[in-house]
Every structure is written in C-alpha cells, then in structure tokens.
Structure 1
Amino acid sequence: MLLPSVTILTALLASAGVVGNPVAAPGPTPAPSLKDTIIRRAANCTFSGSIGYSLASKSKTSCSTIVLSSLTVPSGVTLNLEKLNTGTNVIFQGTTAWGYEQWEGPLFSVSGNQITVRGDPGSILDGQGTLWWDGLGGAGGKIKPKFFRANDLTDSILEGITIRNAPKNSFSINGVTRLTVKNITIDDSAGTSNGKNTDGFNINNSDQVYFTGVKVWNQDDCMNVNSGTNIYWTNGFCSGGHGLSIGSVANGTVVRNVTFENTIMEKQQQSVRIKTVSGAVASVADISYSGITINGGTDYGILVDQSYGGTKHEPTNGVTITNFQLRNITGYVDSGATQILIECGSGSCSNWSWSNVKLTGGKQSTTCLNKPSSISC
C-alpha cells in the first residue's frame, strides 16, 4: 500500500527502531523495507484465493493466527505450514480445494509446538479424490497424494476439521507428542466403488495421542497404529472401511498401551484387527478394545493376523502380542463373514483377557491357530 506522505513513513520507521539520530555526514544508505516491518508486526493474517497458499507458506512465521479462507491450491503443491512459531493458530474457513496432479503429496503439512489447527463450522478441505480414484489405491494406476501430514507436533490440537474425498490416506501422524484430535470428520463415502487406501488416520512413532468424536467414512483402516505408545480413542464412528487396527506392525517397532472404546463400526471389512508383518520381530502390548458395536462385517468381526504380507494362514512368531483385552464387543457380521479369526505364531500370543464378546451372524472359524487357551474362536 502506498502511504500519502513522507511524514507517515518516517514515523513508522522510527517506531520500528529503524530511524535514529542523524549523523554528521550521512551517506547513501538504502531505505529499509516498510513491507517487512509491517509483516513482522502482524498478528492475525488471512490468506484466500488462488495465491493465498503461497503467501501463507512464505509468511507463516510472521503471524500468530493464520486464517486460510477459501483457498485454491494448484496441482502438485503442498500447502506448507511446517515449523510454525510456538503457539500459532491455524483456522480453515470456507472450502479449500487442491488441483489434480499425479504425485505423492502431501496436500497439506504442519509442524510445531503448541499448534492449534481448527476448521470453522461449515469449512471443508476438499481433496477432489474422484479425479484420482481408479480402484487401485497405492497398488498401481494413478499416483495419488496423501492428504494431511501432521509431523513433529508437540502439545498441539487438531479440531473441527472436515476432509472430503481424500485421494489416498487422509491423516498421517508421525513423530508427535501430546496431540489431541477432536471432532474430525473424514467423508470419503463417494469412493465406495473406486476409492482404495483411503485410510483415516495412520499413526507412526508417536506418544500420547488422544482422539475423541471422530467420524470416518472410507475404504481402508479407520485408524491404525503402526508404531507408538499411549494412544487413546473414544466416542468414534467408522463406516465402510477396514476397522480400528494395530499395524501392520513391522520389524523393530513397538506398539504399547493403545485403547479403543465406545465406537460404532458400520459395514467394516473387519472391525477389531491386529496385523503383524510376516517374519518381523517387534512388540505389541497392552491393547484394549471396549464398548465396540459392530454393525456388519464383510470378512471378519475380529481378526488377529500374524502372516500379513507373507504366506496366508502361515503365521510367524517374531512379534509378541501380550495383554490383549476385549470387553463388551457386540453386534453382527454379514452372512458370508467369519465372526472371529485368530492366527498367531507359535507361542507369540499370551495373557489375553476377553469378556462379553458376543457376535452373531456369519460363521464361526474352525481354523484358528495358536490362540491363548482361554480365548474362544
């Protein structure tokens, strides 16, 4: 903005500590940037339209509150809000949409300490997944970007965000400590025919992550913990996907103290699931599911699979699964599904405690392998 007089410009520069007492013989010193002075002082910044994404990424450390209002992000570009200043607030308003391009993504990324990312009522992050969905997910066809990367967040909050039509995985949560995820909606229901690998939440190397009030319509895991500790999920809803999952647990990883409770599982491939990679050496301990209502299961109600990625029905025993608790798991599976299937490696599953696990419909398995003696299959 052009200022009307030299007097105003001089006053602003003086207040910023730029203009000092005159020297005896001043030389041709270039004037400081008034624009930079104003940006450094900015508190609340609003970015919108087709160039807002670029300005937001460039100015992110100059704003204590970043409002992203109806942004249009071009194809092949990450809306990058990584390394924010401590205490920064990010607010989505209106519809934020991303253009089409075959690439890995992510479409949005954020990191920092004491960060709040919030969606205002009615706001939508639109991944336009129908442009990518081809029924192949990450196994071929079009290269599809992941959506929302939350890495290296500490003491932070994700709240009130609505994601619609993610091309592939929605939330990748990696290396976070003390993160609250509340009242999030992921709606990939339009991908029922062609959507694939549209995971809701993927958790890796994270500690103390708390989920509440999350709703997910998708075509893969509603939420899965690949590695991490002290993860708590409550009051959720999952439809059309592959369940609340531990894993796939890969070599050298640890999953410990994970709780899922008070959640409705609708039309899942399986609702309760532990999957460990064939041949891996790792640890899964202190896993609890309680108050889970299963309304339909196309394959299984409860599945423990220790042959994931290897030869089916030949579980390996390098991953121990200990203190696996199920309480009040009720509902039904579809007519062609199996209520419970357990395939553990020899001696790898121990100290399980199940109570009030009551599923109807489908069939009971006659091929469970190496299950703890106290558990019915």
Structure 2
Amino acid sequence: MNCFENYSLVILNIVLFLWSSRIETCHAREGNLWSLKSISAPANSVLDVEKEKGYGGTAGSSHQHAGRSTMSKFTGNKDMGVDDTMSTPQGGSSKSFNVLDFGAKGDGNTDDSQAFEATWAAACKVEASTMIVPSGSVFLLHYISFSGPDCAADIVFQLDGKIIAPTSPGAWKSGLLQWIEFTKLNGITIQGKGVIDGQGSVWWNNLPTYNPEDSEGIMSAKMPGTKPTVLRFYGSTRVIVTGITIQNSPQTHLKFDDCTTVQVSDFKAASPENSPNTDGIHLQNSQDVLIYSSDLACGDDCVSIQTGCSKVYIHNVNCGPGHGISIGGLGKGNSKACVSNVTVRDVAMLNTLTGVRIKTWQGGSGSVQGVTFSNIQVSGVKTPIMIDQFYCDGSKCQNESSAVAVSDINYINIKGTYTSNPVHLACSDGLPCTGISFSAIELKPVQEDSQPFCWNTYGELRSSTVPPINCLKMGKSSKTVVDC
C-alpha cells in the first residue's frame, strides 16, 4: 500500500470518529429530556389521585396549586406560569399584606388600630388576599371595623399573633356593643393559631360602672356599663373561623348576626366561670351554620341560638364551665321569634348550669321546632335537660297567655350525672309543648335523687329512661301550633 492510500485511511477514520461522537451526544440529550419528563409525571399523577379522593380544587386546600408550573419566577423568563405570583420586596406574595409593613408596632402598648385599618384597605381591593397578623407580636387595638360591601371576595385574615383590648375607660367612651367586627363581606376567613384577648377582668371584677352624669366626671377606675362583644360578624356570607382562641371576653366571645353559610372549627373560647354574660358563640338571624371540634369555656351559654336561626348543626364540642347549649331566650318584650332545624350531637358537658336547654319568655310568639339533641355526655351538670317557657332573668316578670310554641323536640342518648334535677320541662299554660320525645336517657344523681318535672308537656317515650319520665303527657296537645 502506497503513502497516499495510508493517508486516505487516516482521514476516513477521523471522519468516522467525529460522526459517531455526534450521534452519542444527540442520544444523551434525548435521554436527559426524557428524564425531566419522567420526573414531572408523578406530580400530575398525585394531583389526579387527590381530585379522585375529593382533595383537589378545594378553596384554601394545600393541594390547590399542586399542578402549578415550577418554572423560575425571574421576571425575564417568558415561560412563567400565568398563575404564578410575583414576589414583593418584603418577600411575601403580592396578595399578602402584613400589618407590620403598614406601620404596626406590635409592642402591646402602641395603638395599632390605624395600621390595621390601612392593611385592610389594601387587602380589601384584592380578591383572595391575605391580611397577616404575624406571630411573635402583641397588637393593641381599639374599636375597629373591617367593612364591605365594596371589598373583593374571599379575604383571609391570618391571625398568628396576639391582639389585646385596651383596659382604660376612655378607650370605650360611653360604651360599645362590639370591639372587633367584620361586616357585609362575601367570603371571609379568620384562621391561625393566634389569640384575641378581651382583657375582660376590668369589666367583671365589680368595678363601678361609668356614669356620664357623675358631677365629678371621674373615669379613672370606671368602665362603661355596656360591655362589648369581642368578635362580631354581621351581614356576611361564607364566613369561616378556625384555629383561633378568644379569651377573657367582656361579654360574648364570638357573634354571628344576619350571616349565611358559617363554619366554626378548632375554635376555643376561654373565660372564667364567674365572668357574667360571656357566651362562647352567639347566633342570631343566621342560617346554614356548622360548629364543630371546639372547646368552649365561659360564664354563660357555650352556644346561644337566638331568633331567625335555622339549619344549625353543632357536633363534637366540649362545653364547660358555662350554662350549656341554649336555644333562646326567645320572645322577650312580646316579640316574635322563629328557630328551626337545629341538631346538637356528640357534645360533652362538664360542670355546667344546664345541658341542652330551650328558654322562652311569656308573651312572645313564633315557634321553635325541628330540634334534635343526641349523644350528649353530661358530668356534674345541674339540670341536663330543660325547657323553660317561663324564663325570666329579672325579679319581676308578668304572667302572659301567649307564648313561643315549642314542638318536635327529640332527646336521644343523653347520659351522665346531674346535681339538681335530671329533667325540667315547664311549658306554657296557653300553648303547651308538643311532640317532645325521649329515648336512651340515663341520668344519675351526684348526691340525692330528684324526679323529672313536667308541666303541660306532651310527647312520647321511645324507650325506658333513667329516671322514669312519668310526668310526660302521652300524645299531642289539642292546641294548634302555628309555624313561623
């Protein structure tokens, strides 16, 4: 073989080597691309499984954005997902508004009301925004209202810090009905592990009330006679309260007035037994209410259900100390009151004044109907089962012939111990209670036995009871019950 042929073979080998290297590089790139695709596939699979299980697509769910693009959020990236949120200079979402960024001090001494108002004004304009009250700080607030109806929907109030009320009489002027309120909102959630402290001991501890006619005008140790509710929702729909604690309320802890579609869970109300009129949760003119997995300790009703309420469902609640779970008092001042479709089940009562109670004033009108109390465990409760159509919280109440009608009330599986009377059913002379049923009732005295009391009460015993409720009149009352 001559030199020319040797040279040609060398050139040919070089060309073949370069060509084969190019093929391997292409295959390697294809392999990397396949690997990236294989990594992203399980995320979509998980999202599909969650949707099948009912997890996906739920508002507020931690899985809501599982399928969101994981592209870089640098501003120069043209491939950014359309729903990715840009970061603010403070490091939070553009939909998040931290009260510290709006001037709140969080030192427990400075009035942070204006900073909270400014934060709300910004959050109010953005749908599904979050107003953040961060942990590690204590915020002093005077009376404040977070108001709609011009606010965007689905605002979240993220409470992880602590909010405290002022204790000086001057901060309350001549008296306020509420301290913190949310009004006329469509979709409002208060959530977190934070605490709202009403510092109510200055109201309870027998301090003299403020008298505006006091000639000396001294207010240094006098609180107004009107005590505020700590947290009130008014005229709002789709309201959620979860995780937070309200403690030491001057009066009611949590109130819903004229609201629809309400949910309360993992909520704690905590005030002493001797704190007057400190209802845990108060419902009025509200429908579609769900209360569950909550601990309610107070000086009055753990849950108070007032006129205008329907479709109320309460379950898995611990109550005590307090006055139990009550419907009423209804019909005060000859007013008309209507309550219907209430279910209370799986509740534990400890050392309460009553267990499950319906109370109405003489002279009222309207009706309470369609109520079921079931699976109630009582321990050291003064009177576990009570209907009182002669309710009177004063020393003088006039006898009246008209009454709020009470009908279709079911007591099922109520067991435990009592300290005074097991069953007290005092119904109107003019309009007796009717359709009252009992089954699986087993109530034992802590000390001395006491027999059930009934007055003008008609119904049926669907099983034997302990003690026997022999005072119940079988059948229905001849009086016509007029529905609301």
- TM-score scaled by structure 1? 0.80
- Check whether the contact 1:124–1:164 (CA below 8 A) recurs between aligned residues: yes
Out of 444, 450, 455, which is 1:369 matched to?
A: 455
- Check whether the contact 2:337–2:364 (CA below 8 A) recurs between aligned residues: no
Out of 305, 309, 314, which is 1:225 matched to?
A: 305
The alpha carbon displacement at 1:60 in A equals 4.1
Structure 1 partner of 2:200: 129
Distance in 2 separating the partners of 1:253 and 1:241: 24
The structure whose Rg is larger is: 2
Distance in 2 separating the partners of 1:131 and 1:283: 39
The alpha carbon displacement at 1:364 in A equals 2.7
Quick check: 1:73 aligned with 2:158? no
Q: Which residues in structure 2 correspond to 1:51-70 (within 5 Å)?
A: 51=112, 52-63=115-126, 64-69=129-134, 70=137
Structure 1 partner of 2:230: 147
The list of structure 1 runs, each at least 4 consecutive aligned residues, that deviate by more than 6 angstroms after superposition, is: 310-315
Q: What letter is aligned with 1:370?
A: N
The alpha carbon displacement at 1:323 in A equals 0.7
Distance in 1 separating the partners of 2:208 and 2:352: 18
Q: Which residues in structure 2 correspond to 1:309-348 (within 5 Å)?
A: 309=392, 316-334=401-419, 337-346=420-429, 347-348=431-432
More helix by share: 2
Stretch deviating more after TM superposition (344-353 or 234-243): 344-353
Distance in 1 separating the partners of 2:425 and 2:291: 27
- Write the deviation string for residues 109-153 of structure 1: whole angstroms up to 9, x where unpaired: 1131122111x23x1111111122136999x97432111101122
Distance in 2 separating the partners of 1:135 and 1:342: 34
Distance in 2 separating the partners of 1:164 and 1:182: 16
The alpha carbon displacement at 1:71 in A equals 5.1
Out of 47, 63, 70, which is 2:99 matched to?
A: 47
Distance in 2 separating the partners of 1:187 and 1:256: 28
- Write the deviation string for residues 58-111 of structure 1: whole angstroms up to 9, x where unpaired: 434134111123452344x22535544211111101111111234224121113
Structure 2 partner of 1:85: 152
Distance in 1 separating the partners of 2:244 and 2:208: 23
Distance in 2 separating the partners of 1:80 and 1:98: 16
Over aligned residues, Cα RMSD in angstroms? 2.5
Distance in 2 separating the partners of 1:341 and 1:372: 13
Q: What letter is aligned with 2:146?
A: N
> Bigger relative contact order, structure 1 or 2, given CA contacts below 8 A and separation 6+?
1
Distance in 2 separating the partners of 1:136 and 1:360: 40
- Check whether the contact 1:81–1:110 (CA below 8 A) recurs between aligned residues: yes
Distance in 2 separating the partners of 1:264 and 1:275: 20
The alpha carbon displacement at 1:304 in A equals 0.7
Distance in 1 separating the partners of 2:302 and 2:411: 18
Unmatched 5+ stretches in structure 2? 1-92, 106-110, 210-222, 462-468, 472-484
Structure 2 partner of 1:212: 292
Q: Which residues in structure 2 correspond to 1:210-359 (within 5 Å)?
A: 210-227=290-307, 228-250=309-331, 251-298=335-382, 300-309=383-392, 316-334=401-419, 337-346=420-429, 347-359=431-443
Identity %: 24
Aligned residue for 1:131, secondary structure, equals helix
Q: 1:136 to 1:289 in 2, by over 3 A?
A: farther
The alpha carbon displacement at 1:53 in A equals 2.4
- Check whether the contact 1:134–1:142 (CA below 8 A) recurs between aligned residues: no
Structure 2 partner of 1:107: 179
Distance in 2 separating the partners of 1:356 and 1:62: 54
Unmatched 5+ stretches in structure 1? 1-40
Stretch deviating more after TM superposition (252-261 or 65-74): 65-74
- Check whether the contact 2:302–2:323 (CA below 8 A) recurs between aligned residues: yes
The alpha carbon displacement at 1:280 in A equals 0.3
- Check whether the contact 1:307–1:316 (CA below 8 A) recurs between aligned residues: no
- Check whether the contact 2:238–2:261 (CA below 8 A) recurs between aligned residues: yes
- Check whether the contact 2:421–2:452 (CA below 8 A) recurs between aligned residues: no
Distance in 2 separating the partners of 1:277 and 1:150: 26
Distance in 1 separating the partners of 2:437 and 2:180: 41
Q: 1:350 to 1:218 in 2, by over 3 A?
A: same
Aligned length: 327
